[in-house]
Structure 1
Amino acid sequence: MGEEEQSQEPSPASLTGKPALRELISLISSLITLSHSIKVFHSKWQLIRNKLDELNSSLVALENCSSDQNTVISEIVLEIFKTVNESQDLAARCVNVSFSGKLLMQSDLDLICTKFDFHVKKLSGVYSSGILTNGSALVVSKPGFGATKDDMRFYVRDLFSRLKIGDVGMKLHALIGLNEVVTDDEKYVKIVVLEFEDLVGLLVNFLDNSELGIQEMAVKVCCVIAGFDCYKGILIGNGVVSPLIRFLESGSDMGKELAAVCLMKLTENSDNAWSVSAHGGATALLKLCGNGDCRAELVGPVCGVLRNLAGVEEIKRFMVEEGMVPVFVNLAKSKDEVLVINAIEFLQAMAYGDEVIRQMIIREGGIRVLVRILDPRALFSSKGREIALRAIENFCFSSANSLNLLMSYRFMDHLLFFLRNGEVSVQELALKLVFRLCGTSEEANKAMGDAGFMLELVKFLNAKSFEIREMAAEALSCMVLLPRNRKKFVQEDGNIGLLLQSLDLREGNSGNRKFLLSTLISLTSCNSARRKIVNSGYLKNIEKLAQAEVHDAKKLVRKLSSNRFRSMLSGIWHS
């Protein structure tokens, strides 16, 4: 530069205030804009623009800091002014294509790029040296609702600069600001991931930071990004899996939970499941659940990751070999209901369509664990009882051995208790199991008849839900096929009357009516039952159904038409 141009440059003393910084920032922004209009040396100017962006972000961060050693800052700012002035001259010549030679211009552009890189590193050194202290405006104000993309981009650039060159406090506040905007508005996520190429890598590096707060906040931001399918691969490509697994092994309680949530989102893609498994993720997760101090808040997302991993058959088999089944059966023995529910639901998911795993669960004592939850003396909520009843249905009806084992743990007593006393949702599940048990064996029907299940089934015949009424009617029709159960049923005063009251003449309830008529037909083999039916006062209902050509109703009338009862009937058995 000539002596006249040098004399026009600011002196260090004049560069101690924020107005000068703002002027420099404005100058750099103008240079960036000008560079976009340059048609020659495109790759060179792209590199220079990248450095200008970094420099601009650092200077914006510098605006919000104060220092007692302004001379140091002034000297750096003066050097940047000189380089920017040189760059403007080169930019103007490139725009006008008025340079003397391509090789000389390429050399000049390389030199300028090196100078800007030097300035960026020097500013970074100033930050890390502790010369600067945080000012009152620690972070540029977050753009309001409806802000332009340029405003959003400027805010992210400012946060990025602080993350790169700020001290611990500045980095933490920048991460807090970043987490806030990406959580509130997915447009910021797109800007972070696609427009600031190094930012995701920087976040991943922070996962190994020595400061716990920075680690945890970085995981939070990664969790948000992992929630978008199109960005999962970028996180994986930046090596996020390995530090997340280290978090699971030795991080804070909060860090472990956040890492598990992030891995759960990432492994929704089966390709990423392989990456997690390859880095020892399955082993780390199983160890976490088996160490005896797995917290309720953590076990949910951990089970979520493991379920995703098990979606790959080879990984599922590896998890079984690593002791997955005994780990979770043992977890289901916990006194913490949240742990119990998560463990049982996970075991059900693993055993679905897999008889080998189902049998392993039974061998490890899974049935005893489930029945323990149904003990009325146990302190479990209705939700816990529901989970246990569903699991028993899934695990115990595949073989006679598992059913026999179930009965040996006083399951029948617990089932009857909840059929009588449980909340509606629990009662319905208990009824469903009664229905399933009726179809398993004659011994099960005898045991239920002796225990008093038939009386409870009759009470469900007038339930609001048609499905419940039909299930109760079908179970009852199955149970009274046994002579000893018929005898018990008839001995209970009022059972026959309740059964007849439940006969619905409406066409839409033919399914329920079919089982009730079947039950009554079975009962007619007993003289006392036939007498109670004829004397009940509901005989006309049966006659109406017979007249309507309902086959079972006509059959029932014929059963009742012995010489002893014929005079009481209207003669329709001849039809």
Structure 2
Amino acid sequence: MRAKMGEEEKQRAKETEQSQNSSESSSGESSLRRIVESITSLISLSYSIKIFSAKWQTIRTKLEDLNSGLVAVQNCEASENPAVSGIVSNTWKTVNECHELARRCVDLSYSGKLLMQSDLDMLSARLDLHARNLSEVYNAGVLTRRFAIVVSRPGNGACRDDMRFYVRDLMTRMKIGDAEMKRQALLNLYEAVVEDDKYVKVVVEHGEIVHLLIRFLDFSHEVEIQELSAKIVSVISGFRSYKVVLVGAGIIAPLIRVLESGREVGKEEAAKSLQRLTENSDNGWSISAHGGVTALLKLCSGGDGGEIRSELVGPACGALKNLVGIEEIKRFMVEGGVISTFIRLTRSKDEVLQINSIEFLQNIASGDDAIRIMVAKEGGIRALVHVLEPRSVACSCKVRETALRAIENLCFWNANSISVLIKYGFVDQLMFFLRNGEVSIQELALKVAIRMCGKSEEAKKAMGDANFMTELVNFLDSKSFEVREMAAEALSNMVSVPKNRKRFVQDDRNMCLLLQRFNPEQVNSGNTKPLFSILMSLTSCNGGRRKIAHSGYLKNIQKLAENEVSDAKKLVKKLSTNRFRSMLSGIWR
């Protein structure tokens, strides 16, 4: 009986203790809730204070930070922690004093400005102390999260103040939270800046967040925190006006450290940021000074021993491409073997990587004959011609356009380079794109053909053998004025070669299509100078003079001469002189 009564007493004591604990817990939670409500009310009241506005702005910012920290505490099992109870008790006193000072400032009922300014400074310092104490409690790891702690993001169209409050709340969690809290806050911030550009501006305006992100980039032991920070920085770096803020805050060195020792996602985001930051050449020296050029070159060459991934190497290529404009950095790259590295990357199956590598070779050799020679010796011309291979289905139209522009810039500076191009079958490729290419690549091929035959006699002959003139004549009837002009210019260059003149004249269709361009309507609709230049060249051979003289279009040319068109007068004069000479030659025979 006594044993039974003893057990009942123990049970009642246990229930009493649990009840007391529950009451204390409830009391603690109630105090937290009241202080959060009081601070929220105080923040609203501070907006109506017109005097000492700068000091109240500072106090309001500190109140918002403290409020976010206390809201986070509400979401933790904190009621039994004496440290939290002490902070709440001390914060209550400060908040009450703050309410009193705010009321006096609103009513202008304070005794003197200097005394009030001193009181506000002391208040600000105490708010700092409470926030610091709260942070120490979090960092000690004694709090246990009990449910989701990140507040909801304001809906679309929310006012700027609501957005600032949300971002400030996230910042507080990043500062005082454990690793999981930091990760969740960063994830929410990343989603916000990706979905709404306005949040990017809010983040940049709150400079402390940028410094937090920079610090988190060095969290190599917390990979997710590092990667999320790199993602947010990458988004911010995409805005031109905010790049200077990132650079000024010291972002470059941490990004390079991530590039050197981070995991794949972090490296990708760091490379993207560096590519965007190097669009401003002023940042090039800073990147070089922190070893960034070496790190980028190592990634592009596969020097870290891993597989070359286009998602990572693509932006790294882009960053190096932006840096070649700095002469000293360019020389450093060349000495480091960058030419062979990027020639190898032109064979990649990834479009972005191919385009970046081709444009890099074009940029680094621009205006530098020594590097152009180096590109040719390392196999760069062959690699570019390989990219243009019509039978290859791996290369997109955009990649081929990039390769054509690079060939134009890299290979047309001397006759030897053009000879190498011809040797590798470039003329046949050019003909293919003239006949079968999409409009954009067709026009580009036409421009390249004009430059090529204008630079080399060998090229004129090779293009004549490949039947380029027939294709060019077809372009004389194009709807595009620019295309007609380019085709006429290319033909004018090509028929300057005797063998090409003879081949052209022998094709009646070529002559007919050319002479049709001299009917009155078409002559008056464009520039006839290149067309007259072609006819003048063709009169140098007997067949050409004869076909022009006996064509039905001669009268159009004579009419233009009568109208004082100088090129027409020269052509008629040459035809007449040649006819007179033929008559004399017949008499003497």
Structure 2 CA distance for partners of 1:387 and 1:276, relative to 1, 3 Å: same
Preserved CA contact (<8 Å) 1:16 1:70: yes
Q: Which moved more, 1:27-36 or 1:454-463?
A: 27-36
Match for 1:133 among 132, 139, 146?
A: 146
Does residue 515 of structure 1 match 2:530? Answer: yes
Q: Which moved more, 1:549-558 or 1:230-239?
A: 230-239
Structure 2 CA distance for partners of 1:239 and 1:441, relative to 1, 3 Å: closer
- Matched residue, 2:89: 81
- Matched residue, 2:293: 282
Does residue 474 of structure 1 match 2:489? Answer: yes
- Matched to 2:146, the amino acid is T
Preserved CA contact (<8 Å) 1:38 1:91: no
Does residue 199 of structure 1 match 2:209? Answer: yes
Once the two structures are TM-superposed, the CA of residue 433 in structure 1 deviates from its matched residue by 2.3
Match for 2:386 among 344, 348, 372?
A: 372
Structure 2 CA distance for partners of 1:433 and 1:111, relative to 1, 3 Å: closer
After superposition, the C-alpha distances for 1:274-333 in whole angstroms (9 at most, x for unaligned) are: 221111111111111111833233344223322333343332332222222222122113
Structure 2 CA distance for partners of 1:108 and 1:394, relative to 1, 3 Å: closer
- Matched residue, 1:72: 81
Structure 2 CA distance for partners of 1:533 and 1:32, relative to 1, 3 Å: closer
Between the aligned partners of 2:211 and 2:119, the Cα distance in structure 1 is 33
- Matched residue, 2:252: 241
Preserved CA contact (<8 Å) 1:473 1:512: no
Between the aligned partners of 2:100 and 2:450, the Cα distance in structure 1 is 87
Preserved CA contact (<8 Å) 1:66 1:132: yes
After superposition, the C-alpha distances for 1:376-427 in whole angstroms (9 at most, x for unaligned) are: 2333222222212111110111122222222222222222232233222222
Match for 1:171 among 161, 179, 182?
A: 182
- Matched residue, 1:358: 372
- Matched residue, 1:569: none
- Matched residue, 1:208: 218
Structure 2 CA distance for partners of 1:170 and 1:464, relative to 1, 3 Å: same
Preserved CA contact (<8 Å) 2:321 2:359: no
Structure 2 CA distance for partners of 1:449 and 1:173, relative to 1, 3 Å: same
Q: Which moved more, 1:156-165 or 1:393-402?
A: 156-165
After superposition, the C-alpha distances for 1:477-509 in whole angstroms (9 at most, x for unaligned) are: 232233222221222232211111122534875
- Matched to 1:310, the amino acid is V
Aligned with 1:462: secondary structure?
coil
Structure 2 CA distance for partners of 1:97 and 1:480, relative to 1, 3 Å: same
TM-score by length of 1: 0.82
Structure 2 CA distance for partners of 1:538 and 1:341, relative to 1, 3 Å: same
Does residue 413 of structure 1 match 2:428? Answer: yes
- Matched residue, 1:5: none
Q: Which moved more, 1:393-402 or 1:197-206?
A: 197-206
Count the aligned residue pairs. 543
Match for 1:151 among 131, 156, 162?
A: 162
Preserved CA contact (<8 Å) 2:216 2:225: yes
Once the two structures are TM-superposed, the CA of residue 112 in structure 1 deviates from its matched residue by 5.0
Preserved CA contact (<8 Å) 1:134 1:170: no
Preserved CA contact (<8 Å) 1:58 1:123: no
Once the two structures are TM-superposed, the CA of residue 453 in structure 1 deviates from its matched residue by 1.7
Structure 2 CA distance for partners of 1:118 and 1:343, relative to 1, 3 Å: closer
- Matched residue, 2:511: 496
TM-score by length of 2: 0.81
Does residue 15 of structure 1 match 2:27? Answer: yes
Preserved CA contact (<8 Å) 2:68 2:172: yes
Between the aligned partners of 1:313 and 1:353, the Cα distance in structure 2 is 12
Preserved CA contact (<8 Å) 2:40 2:67: yes
Preserved CA contact (<8 Å) 2:384 2:403: yes
Structure 2 CA distance for partners of 1:97 and 1:370, relative to 1, 3 Å: same
Q: How does 1:518-529 map to 2 (within 5 A)?
A: 518-529=533-544
Between the aligned partners of 1:418 and 1:150, the Cα distance in structure 2 is 58
Identity %: 54
Structure 2 CA distance for partners of 1:169 and 1:271, relative to 1, 3 Å: same
Structure 2 CA distance for partners of 1:27 and 1:324, relative to 1, 3 Å: same
- Matched residue, 1:7: none
Once the two structures are TM-superposed, the CA of residue 23 in structure 1 deviates from its matched residue by 1.0
Preserved CA contact (<8 Å) 1:130 1:167: no
After superposition, the C-alpha distances for 1:246-272 in whole angstroms (9 at most, x for unaligned) are: 222333333222111212233334443
Once the two structures are TM-superposed, the CA of residue 179 in structure 1 deviates from its matched residue by 2.1
- Matched to 1:226, the amino acid is S
Aligned with 1:469: secondary structure?
helix
Preserved CA contact (<8 Å) 1:270 1:308: yes
Aligned with 1:142: secondary structure?
coil
Once the two structures are TM-superposed, the CA of residue 206 in structure 1 deviates from its matched residue by 1.9
Aligned with 2:419: secondary structure?
helix
Match for 2:343 among 329, 345, 362?
A: 329
Between the aligned partners of 1:110 and 1:518, the Cα distance in structure 2 is 85
- Matched residue, 1:302: 316
Preserved CA contact (<8 Å) 1:416 1:453: yes
Between the aligned partners of 1:419 and 1:160, the Cα distance in structure 2 is 59
Aligned with 1:71: secondary structure?
coil
- Matched to 1:15, the amino acid is S
Between the aligned partners of 2:45 and 2:526, the Cα distance in structure 1 is 81
Aligned with 2:81: secondary structure?
helix
After superposition, the C-alpha distances for 1:37-60 in whole angstroms (9 at most, x for unaligned) are: 7999x99x9998776544321111
Q: Which moved more, 1:145-154 or 1:462-471?
A: 145-154
Between the aligned partners of 1:13 and 1:447, the Cα distance in structure 2 is 92
Once the two structures are TM-superposed, the CA of residue 35 in structure 1 deviates from its matched residue by 8.8
Once the two structures are TM-superposed, the CA of residue 368 in structure 1 deviates from its matched residue by 1.1
Between the aligned partners of 1:353 and 1:228, the Cα distance in structure 2 is 31
- Matched residue, 2:587: none
Does residue 260 of structure 1 match 2:271? Answer: yes
Preserved CA contact (<8 Å) 1:477 1:519: yes
Preserved CA contact (<8 Å) 2:412 2:418: yes
Match for 2:438 among 410, 416, 423?
A: 423
Once the two structures are TM-superposed, the CA of residue 111 in structure 1 deviates from its matched residue by 9.6
Structure 2 CA distance for partners of 1:546 and 1:172, relative to 1, 3 Å: same
Preserved CA contact (<8 Å) 1:418 1:426: yes
Once the two structures are TM-superposed, the CA of residue 24 in structure 1 deviates from its matched residue by 0.8
Aligned with 1:463: secondary structure?
coil
Unaligned runs of 5+ in 2: 1-22, 105-109, 584-589
Unaligned runs of 5+ in 1: 1-10, 567-575
Preserved CA contact (<8 Å) 2:321 2:356: no
Between the aligned partners of 1:106 and 1:557, the Cα distance in structure 2 is 98
- Matched to 1:315, the amino acid is I
Does residue 554 of structure 1 match 2:559? Answer: no
Between the aligned partners of 1:122 and 1:247, the Cα distance in structure 2 is 28
Between the aligned partners of 1:173 and 1:186, the Cα distance in structure 2 is 20
- Matched to 1:373, the amino acid is V
Does residue 457 of structure 1 match 2:457? Answer: no
Preserved CA contact (<8 Å) 2:347 2:354: yes
Once the two structures are TM-superposed, the CA of residue 70 in structure 1 deviates from its matched residue by 3.8
Match for 1:544 among 553, 559, 576?
A: 559
Two-structure CA RMSD over aligned residues (Å): 3.6
Between the aligned partners of 1:163 and 1:417, the Cα distance in structure 2 is 60
Between the aligned partners of 1:431 and 1:107, the Cα distance in structure 2 is 74
Between the aligned partners of 1:154 and 1:296, the Cα distance in structure 2 is 39
After superposition, the C-alpha distances for 1:102-127 in whole angstroms (9 at most, x for unaligned) are: 9x99999799568625641454147x
- Matched to 2:93, the amino acid is N
